Amino acid sequence: MKKFILLSILVGFFHQQLSAQSWKYQYGIKLGASVPGYRLSNVSTGTTREASNTLGFSVTGTAEASPSRYFAIQSGLSFQLLGAQLNYSEFGKTNVRQRTFWLQVPLNVMAKLPLKDSSNFFIAAGPYGGLGLMGANNFDDSFTGTRTDFTFGSNGSQKRFDYGVNLNIGYQVKRGYNIAIGYMMGIADLSTSTRYQQRNRAWTVNVGYSF
């Protein structure tokens, strides 16, 4: 009972502090380049490997709410091109470049280090949810296996819904321009096979503008 009362007091205190702050809102857009890939896990042996990376990009609209110079909550809507180069894939032992298009909604907590010139360093981390829109399997001309089209769904090439976490570290100048590097780690198993598990991974570089 005492612990419950103490917890209630702490929650009430932090709520009062946040309510007393004057929240500021910013909106922005980010363009990014990425190096996505897959983490593949063999279910029977427990071994894992990284599929060869390919190149991707992203376009993101952001909305940020900040009660102080040091803290913010940021979300938005992001269009992502992900995928991997499958050298030894379920298709056969020749190269298959798989590209997947996703709509993601991140929710990040940001910590900021303001500088004297009103610029700041920042670190942002949090979860994301993703919806698979479409995809493509690009086969080498020398491929001799069965060529299949990409589809999302429980009976398709990949499951349609993804979720995971992301981390970004960056710098924003006074005029609103910013740059950041980051890492996206998918948690959801996207494989529709019982033999292996598949999760999204990506290194990212973003440039943006906040207003």
Instruction: Give residue 14's pLDDT.
Output: 53
8 backbone dihedrals φ, ψ, rounded to 5°: -65, -40
For the segment 39-60, the average pLDDT, to the nearest whole number, is: 92
What percent of the chain lies above the pLDDT cut of 90?
A: 68
Q: What is the mean pLDDT of residues 196-208?
A: 97
Give the span between the Cα atoms of 31 and 207, in whole angstroms.
Answer: 6
Q: What angle do CA 205, 73, 188 make, to 5 degrees?
A: 60
C-alpha to C-alpha distance for 186 and 180, rounded to whole angstroms: 19
From residue 37, give the alpha-carbon distance in Å to each of 25, 95, 119, 170.
34, 14, 33, 23
CATH architecture assigned to 25-210: Beta Barrel (2.40)
User: Tokens at residue 178, please?
Assistant: 């910013």
- Encoded tokens for 200: 């999204």
pLDDT computed for residue 9 by the predictor: 64
pLDDT at residue 143 tops 80: no
* pTM for this predicted structure: 0.85
pLDDT of 53-77, one tens digit each?
999 999 999 999 999 999 999 999 9
CA Rg value for the chain? 21
45/140 Cα distance (integer angstroms): 29
